[in-house]
């Protein structure tokens, strides 16, 4: 029971973070993102369309983390989404390595670990199939 609650809390927080981050990437220009966040120099490496596409993936990921379980429609998509977001964060960490931004990479690795935790918990001990 405690693990289920912890997973819901962590998943909800992840969903809020990814929703907020994704909406900003969609709504703001690449230059505005770069100007307002010291850790967002990565946008220099991507076209404006690609930054918006990453934002779209984050918004879809936020929805995929919570809606399938809440609506009880294909809840197996929750851990699948967590794996997809972990892959996105692995890509983000790779960009940070290439750009030699180890301090900024720490947050990416934390999100990666949290996504893996959600995937493990929902595929394993607190699966919605139980």
Instruction: Among 7-11, 110-114, 123-127, name the one with the lowest average pLDDT.
Output: 123-127
Q: What is the pLDDT of residues 85-100, one digit of tens each?
A: 999 999 999 999 999 9
Residue pair 122/82 in contact (Cβ under 8 Å)? The answer is: yes
Question: What's the pTM?
Answer: 0.93
pLDDT band at 130 (very low <50, low <70, confident <90, very high): low
Residue pair 58/21 in contact (Cβ under 8 Å)? The answer is: yes
**Residue 102: helix, strand or coil by DSSP?**
helix
Domain limits, the chain? 2-123
């Amino acid at each position: 029971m405690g693990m289920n609650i912890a997973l819901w809390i962590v998943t909800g927080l992840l969903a809020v973070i990814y929703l907020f981050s994704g909406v900003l990437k969609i709504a703001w220009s690449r230059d505005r993102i770069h100007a307002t966040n010291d850790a967002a120099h990565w946008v220099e490496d991507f076209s404006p369309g690609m930054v918006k596409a990453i934002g779209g993936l984050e918004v879809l990921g936020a929805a995929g983390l919570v809606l399938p379980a809440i609506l009880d429609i294909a809840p197996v998509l929750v851990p699948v989404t967590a794996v997809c977001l972990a892959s996105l964060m692995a890509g983000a960490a790779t960009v940070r390595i290439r750009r030699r931004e180890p301090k900024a990479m720490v947050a990416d690795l934390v999100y990666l670990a949290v996504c893996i935790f959600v995937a493990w918990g929902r595929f394993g001990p607190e699966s919605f199939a139980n």
